[in-house]
Amino acid sequence: MRKLIGFKKTRSAVFISGTGSNLKNLIKFSNKKNSPISIKLIISNNKKAKGLKYSNQYKIKKKILNFKNHKTAEKKILKILFKKKINFICLAGFMKILSKNFIKKFKGKIINIHPSLLPKYKGLNTHVRVIKNKEKFSGCTVHFVTSKLDAGKIIMQKKVKIAAKDSAFSLKKKILKKEHIIYPAAIRKILN
Ligand code: GRF
């Protein structure tokens, strides 16, 4: 456990593309007195991302990037990350794949949450594939980001039992609830 006196929260950014329920959850977590992170920046590749509303609500700076030119977008992101002295990045439903070069600059400092029990079901449409394969369990994983998709070292996982009546939609909801528990817990695990 960190000492509360003189302890500095790690300046962090959250990258999103959509709803932002994990973003909201991480902001609430970061606002706790003993949280190891302070969220200073929200990055989105999608100007219509619903999660962007949390920028106004919680008074956190946001930056929206057009990824038509991936290299330029990443350059701009790096610039603002350095300007704002960010040294920890949480991907939360961010739908772009970061380049090797970008990841190298933040080696060991980028983490992601994925809605499956990795290494199973990497990539997109996880819940649909899980239901189709009649799996008995699924879950979520927080892992370090490397240049290989959804393949970095696992920090934390949570298993969820799939009921016979579950659909991809109900499973998504069930797993999101667990995501909101393990994302902060995984951050504590590596930063405390
Ligand atoms: C989550 O299921 C997360 O695991 C995946 O994308 C989804 C984002 O949801 N990477 P939200 O935008 O945080 O609600």
The number of angstroms, rounded, from the C-alpha of 3 to the middle of its chain's C-alpha atoms is 26
Whether 179 lines ligand 1, by a CB cut-off of 6 Å, is yes
pTM equals 0.96
Q: What is the pLDDT of residue 7?
A: 79
Q: Give the DSSP letter of residue 115.
A: S
Is 114 catalytic? The answer is yes
**Is there a cis peptide before residue 115, judged by omega within 30 degrees of 0?**
no
Q: Counting atoms of ligand 1 from 1, which one is nearest the CA of 50? A: 12
Do 106 and 89 touch, CB atoms closer than 8 A? Answer: yes
C-alpha 107 – ligand 1 centre gap (Å)? 22
Query: What's the Cα-to-Cα distance from 172 to each of 44, 126, 177, rounded to whole Å?
Result: 22, 9, 9
Angstrom distance (rounded) from CA 30 to CA 184: 9
Residue 11 confidence (pLDDT): 98
DSSP per-residue codes, 86-102: --EEEESS--SPPPHHH
**Residue ranges, the chain, pLDDT below 70:** 1-6
